[in-house]
Amino acid sequence: MNIPILTIIVPCYNEQEVLGETIEQLKAKLEQMIIGKMVSDKSKILFVDDGSKDSTWHMIYKASLKNEMIKGLKLSRNVGHQNALLAGLFSAKMSSDCMVTIDADLQDDVDAINEMVKKYIEGYEVVYGVRSSRESDTFFKRFTAEGFYKLMDKLGVKLVFNHADFRLMGRRAVEELEHFAESNMFLRGIVPLIGFNSANVYYERKERLAGETKYPLKKMLAFAFDGITSFSVTPIRIVMLVGCLSFIVSLIFGIYFLALKYFGDTELGWTSLITSIWLIGGLQLIALGLVGEYIGKIYKETKRRPKFIIDVDLFNLPVPRRLVNREGAEYESIVETRKLSENN
């Protein structure tokens, strides 16, 4: 087999604190792999700027000026981690044999990339980076995250335990990924659905290098809830079950109260009445909300909106003239350099 062309894809959202170090480490890693003849010298690092509001994009394109190996993709606005990954994968797939996605904060072990590529060369189409432990996490994060994986498993969604979005995908797998037309892409759930031969690579996950998490509790919960409702209809069935149960319970109570009325103490309390009204009301609202959540999903999916829009693509030039004007002189020079190198 020929030496594969690797593209390392890094989604970045407001990562200016950590990006400098990330660029250095990934560059060193890729250079080492190229020198070791593990990957082709056409390999690249692609930073996807997910609508950052700080100087992230500026840093990316400056780095791309300095080094041919570094590329950038600027999305038109913030579309979230998963869609940023897709933007990177779909842009890179034409000119790569395999692609590794890794977070910008380098919590994932860059050295595991070697192992991943080895597995790819051995013939695996998808290689999952799996955390060997969660020691670097707070108790809360560990508890919620592992709970999430277990819950998903109970709900019948096949996830790779303790695998986040650090993975290698071969071009074939990414091409198949493009056929999943749903607009809500929960990659951890979808990639296993692609199938093909897959392998795991184990690594220790570290603390964030710098900056703070872009997944505060609220986003984390939304992400988990999205993951569940995109892949499983079990919650809706549970609601139905609870509804049936409460109906049966209320029947039994009804009989009991009737019996009391005719054979015993007729002074029935207000409490039982009001409690059951609230109970049933609550249950109904939960059920309605959940059904609404699924209908909302259907509504969103039927619109087939694009998952991301690319503003500037330094990976697959040419950059439109108008954008060159907007970004100023430095841009001018990058385009000129490219033209020169293309003509030669």
**Cβ neighbours of 230 (radius 10 Å):** 17
Give me 44's structure tokens: 């690249």
Q: Considering only 58-66, 107-115, 227-235, 326-334, which stretch makes contact with Mg ion by CB under 5 A?
A: 107-115
Q: Is 50 in the site for ligand UDP (CB under 6 A)?
A: yes
- The nearest distance, CB 35 to Mg ion, in angstroms, is 29
How far is Cα 296 from Cα 225, in angstroms, rounded to an integer? 13
Residues binding Mg ion: number (CB under 5 A):
3
- Residue 214 binding target from ligand UDP, Mg ion, none, CB below 5 to 8 Å by type: ligand UDP
Q: Which of 19, 84, 130, 228 binds ligand UDP (CB under 6 A)?
A: 84
- The nearest distance, CB 340 to Mg ion, in angstroms, is 38
Q: Which of 46, 64, 103, 200 binds ligand UDP (CB under 6 A)?
A: 103
Residues in contact with 306: Cβ distance below 8 Å, sequence separation at least 6, in sequence order? none
Considering beta carbons, is residue 207 or 336 the nearer one to ligand UDP?
207
- Residue 223 binding target from Mg ion, ligand UDP, none, CB below 5 to 8 Å by type: none
Q: How many CA atoms lie within 13 A of 64 on its CB side?
A: 30
Q: Which of 43, 101, 107, 200 binds Mg ion (CB under 5 A)?
A: 107
Of the candidates 129, 134, 124, 71, the residue with the CA atom closest to the CA atom of residue 101: 129
Q: Considering only 60-68, 207-215, 240-248, 267-275, which stretch makes contact with ligand UDP by CB under 6 A?
A: 207-215
Residues in contact with 126: Cβ distance below 8 Å, sequence separation at least 6, in sequence order? 167, 168, 169, 170, 173, 191, 194, 196, 197, 198, 199
Q: Is 162 in the site for ligand UDP (CB under 6 A)?
A: no
Q: Is 15 in the site for ligand UDP (CB under 6 A)?
A: yes
Asked if residues 52 and 15 have their Cβ atoms less than 8 Å apart, the reply is yes
Maximum Cα–Cα distance for the chain, whole Å? 101
- Residue 15 binding target from ligand UDP, Mg ion, none, CB below 5 to 8 Å by type: ligand UDP
Q: Is 213 in the site for ligand UDP (CB under 6 A)?
A: yes
- The nearest distance, CB 161 to Mg ion, in angstroms, is 18
Considering beta carbons, is residue 107 or 335 the nearer one to ligand UDP?
107
Residues binding ligand UDP: number (CB under 6 A):
16
Asked if residues 333 and 64 have their Cβ atoms less than 8 Å apart, the reply is no
Angle between helices 187-194 and 217-231 (to 10 degrees): 30
Of the candidates 44, 40, 79, 88, the residue with the CA atom closest to the CA atom of residue 63: 44
Asked if residues 32 and 8 have their Cβ atoms less than 8 Å apart, the reply is no
Contacting residues toward ligand UDP, per CB under 6 A = 11-13, 15, 50, 78, 80-81, 84, 103-105, 107, 213-215
Contacting residues toward Mg ion, per CB under 5 A = 103, 105, 107
